[in-house]
Structure 1
Amino acid sequence: MDILTHTISGLAAGTLVAGFCKAPYSKQLLIIAIGGLAGALPDVDAISLWSGFDATFGKLFDLTHSGREIYSAKFWYSHHGFMHSISAALIISTIAGVIAYLNNTRFKQFRLTAFIKHFKVNRFMHLAFILGFLIHLLEDMPTPASNWGGVNLFWPSETYIGGFGHIWWWNNYDIFLIVCGVFLLNFLLLALRFINNRVKNIVIAGVFCMGLMLSVVQVGSRDFDFAYSGSTNSYHAFEAKSKALQKEILGEDIYNSMVTFDNLLSIYF
């Protein structure tokens, strides 16, 4: 799945969590932003494709494999490895909590009871981070197996889960539009202060669940198998088929609008 859909999915997760946080709108916005950051973060492991990786990280850590080899391999630091696991979500969230606590105390002390209290006060931020992070992993599971065979969901286990090939890597415009709809609608609901909070929370949760169900239906409705392992000579044919399916699903006008938007971006979408 593309990074833009991942990020907006994280933002949508953030709106869900923010709805249950009785806090000023500014803090709710921070919670939403954290969800978006978490939605994008797992793909930081694709940094090995950076043209300067070998001359920087490769040299610093004396790596015996090139960045491109690392990306396609199944090392713990490869793409779809540790950073695509539940463990990573929990570890990073905990480390961020510790740093935030120490910064709050000006790095003078660490008391477990005080840290737990600090963690509870900021629990909605941690929850938004973990939820946004996990949604990214779920969105990657229906993509092809390629070199990984899914994501290393339960690291340090060596088992990879997913790689089903229900959808192509990119141009899943229907999923993107659903995700955007969930985010925008819930963001608007959060801004409407005259609505009873309990009612608002129910509606926000309902919108999120409806979007999730619609996405699952769309993922499962592709009348084509994109599955492959390793590399494939049919890459461009698969991508063309994915776009053809999007045209059938969305109709020509919406599809053309999405293609125009896609062409304006410098990222895979």
Structure 2
Amino acid sequence: MDILTHTMTGLAVGTVAAGFSKKSWFMKSKYILAGGFAGALPDVDTVSLWSKFDKYFGPFFQLENSGKHIYSAKFWYSHHGFMHSLLAPIVLLCILALIVAVIKIKIPTIKQIRKTISLLTVFVLGYWAHLLEDMPTPSASWGGVNFFWPSVEYTGGWGKIWWWNNYDVFIFISAIVVFNLLILALSSIMKFKAGRLCLSIFVLGVTLSVWQITNRAYDFNVASKKHGYAFCEKKSKEIQREVLGKRIYTWMVALDNKIKLNF
């Protein structure tokens, strides 16, 4: 799925955590931003598609394969490899903690860890949300994502949706973020508990997204092998036009064309 939807999903996770938090708005904003950052982070493994990857990364890491080959291969550092695993966010946080400990020459205390456990949990959940969203995309050369790394088995790749143009899902996820931010703002003014309401909005939005994904009634795995990417891209947009209607679809295409990312 596209990076924007992944990021918005991470933000949505953060808004739920912020809803249950009794801390300051500054801390709540940290939850939201941490979720958004984590939601986008797994796709850092697409760096191998960077035009200058072979020039800089190849010699530095003494890589035998080109970035393009690495991207579609099944190395641990390929796209949908280690960075798309359950363990990845935990390993990354451990590395970060080690770096901080070395810089400060001080091991974090249990009390310090407890203070950040909620923030770290949001990060992990936002990260995992990305992995789940990649499950219904086509299997391509990987056969899913390396969900249970270091296992060599890949999970997902169901072909329920195309890689991009899932405007309906993006709208639902974005709505979660917008509504929850509004609820958080109102709760600070009217002094009511926002947690359960934010969670309800999140569950509703995710449920609608899952329903849309599972009711595409089209197999993009078969289509991509038989007709190629261009055909699937066109078919994905046709489905969106049927689902959203001409007006909303036109708005989303216009937005898509303005954003210099695969969306």
Q: Is the 8 A contact 2:18 2:195 kept in 1?
A: no
User: Could you give the per-residue CA deviations for residues 17-54 of structure 1, whole angstroms, max 9, x where no partner exists?
Assistant: 12222211011111111110000000000000001111
Structure 1 position 204 matched with structure 2 position 198? yes
What's the secondary structure of 1:122's corresponding residue? helix
What's the secondary structure of 1:267's corresponding residue? coil
Q: Is the 8 A contact 1:151 1:161 kept in 2?
A: yes
Instruction: State the Cα RMSD in Å.
Output: 1.7
Aligned to 1:242: 236
Aligned to 1:53: 53
How far did 1:196 drift?
A: 4.5
Aligned to 1:12: 12
In structure 1, give the amino acid aligned to 2:85: S
TM-score (norm 1): 0.93
Aligned to 1:76: 76
Which of the numbers 255, 262, 266 marks the counterpart of 2:260?
266
Aligned to 1:107: 104
How far did 1:195 drift?
A: 4.2
How far did 1:152 drift?
A: 0.4
Aligned to 2:143: 149
Q: Partners in 1 of 2:126 and 2:64 — Cα distance?
A: 33
Which of the numbers 217, 237, 246 marks the counterpart of 1:252?
246
How far did 1:265 drift?
A: 1.0
Distance 1:262 1:229, change over 3 A: closer
- List runs of 5+ in structure 2 lacking aligned partners: none
What's the secondary structure of 2:75's corresponding residue? coil
Distance 1:40 1:69, change over 3 A: same
User: Could you give the per-residue CA deviations for residues 110-165 of structure 1, whole angstroms, max 9, x where no partner exists?
Assistant: 26xx1x22121011210111111011001101000000000000110111000000
Q: Partners in 2 of 1:231 and 1:53 — Cα distance?
A: 28
Aligned to 1:26: 26
TM-score (norm 2): 0.95
Distance 1:7 1:86, change over 3 A: same
Q: Partners in 1 of 2:25 and 2:158 — Cα distance?
A: 40
Q: Partners in 2 of 1:119 and 1:209 — Cα distance?
A: 29
Task: State percent identity of aligned pairs.
Answer: 47
In structure 2, give the amino acid aligned to 1:121: K
Distance 1:32 1:141, change over 3 A: same
Aligned to 1:168: 162
How far did 1:233 drift?
A: 4.2
Structure 1 position 138 matched with structure 2 position 135? no
The structure that is helix-richer by fraction is: 2
Q: Partners in 2 of 1:66 and 1:30 — Cα distance?
A: 38
What's the secondary structure of 1:70's corresponding residue? helix
